[in-house]
């Protein structure tokens, strides 16, 4: 199956359904960014520390998988030279609308982080809002991020804690029931009928990855982890079970 195509269509549907990650930010956040206090998030609710964001001012920044009218206009208002890439046409359209609405500049590119259409060392920094769980080949993504990032540049990204994928998502609204082994993959953990049902509904295709693939592979490529924080899901039954539902990293390319 074509995972990229399936998730592209799924995120187009998420825009229609007004998913939180697809809603254009309000003017107050643009004003804050222009005043030197950008509110950037790569996980659901905790803002990225300002100390991580300050070095991005005046620099060329890739907002990877970052459509939705959120990080792109904020980075532009802060003074970054921002390029956004996303597989979803409607997510990119949200960025176009936001940039035009607030009279901001930014380059918009349709494409996948599995094969970035940019030259080596094109960007000073990369921001990647929580999206790597929609990609099966995490190693390939790290390879592409490393390739297009300049030495000394930062990679700021969020990712779901793998443990979230052990639960039966059909029953999670009522109770937490352990159902799956890890690592989870919609393409192999679900039955053929369940997967076909998800695709018919235009649900996203997701992968849990492992802590080893998230952290060790990052280090193997020549990144050094320079910062970390965790975030909750905002869903009380789940947060009562695991408080670190989402993980955020700042990594520096040193090799």
Q: In this structure, are residues 73 and 108 in contact, taking their beta carbons and an 8 Å threshold?
A: no
Q: What is the pTM of this model?
A: 0.97
Closest CA to 33 of 4, 6, 53: 53
Name the packing angle between helices 89-101 and 3-16 (round to 10°).
50
Give pLDDT tens digits for 99-128. Answer: 999 999 999 999 999 999 999 999 999 999
Cis amide bond preceding 183, omega within 30: yes
Domains of the chain by range and CATH?
A: 3-161+208-253 (3.40.50.150)
pLDDT tens digit string along 212-229?
999 999 999 999 999 999
Region of residue 79 (left: phi > 0; alpha: psi -120 to 50; beta: else)? left
């Amino acid at each position: 199956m074509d995972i990229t195509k399936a998730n592209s269509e799924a995120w187009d549907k998420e825009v229609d359904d007004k998913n939180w990650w697809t809603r254009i930010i309000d003017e107050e956040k643009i004003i804050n960014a222009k005043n030197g206090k950008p509110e950037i998030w790569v996980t659901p609710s905790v803002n990225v520390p300002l100390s991580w964001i300050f070095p991005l001012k005046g620099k060329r920044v890739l907002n990877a998988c970052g459509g939705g009218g959120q990080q792109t206009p904020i980075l532009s208002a802060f003074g970054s030279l921002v390029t956004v890439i996303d597989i979803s046409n409607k997510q990119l359209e949200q960025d176009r609308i936001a940039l035009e609405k607030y009279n901001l500049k930014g380059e918009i590119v349709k494409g996948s982080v599995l094969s970035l259409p940019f030259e080596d060392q094109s960007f000073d920094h990369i921001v990647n809002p929580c999206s790597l769980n929609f990609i099966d080949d995490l190693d390939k993504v790290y390879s592409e991020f490393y390739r297009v990032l300049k030495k000394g540049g930062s990679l700021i990204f969020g990712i779901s804690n793998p443990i979230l994928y052990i639960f039966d998502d059909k029953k999670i609204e009522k109770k937490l029931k352990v159902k799956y082994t890890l690592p989870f993959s919609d393409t192999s953990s679900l039955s053929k009928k369940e997967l076909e049902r998800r695709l018919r509904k235009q649900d996203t295709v997701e992968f849990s990855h492992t802590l080893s693939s998230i952290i060790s592979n990052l280090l193997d490529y020549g990144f050094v982890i320079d910062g970390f924080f965790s975030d909750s899901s905002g869903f009380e039954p789940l947060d009562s079970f695991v408080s670190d539902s989402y993980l955020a990293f700042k990594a520096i390319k040193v090799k």
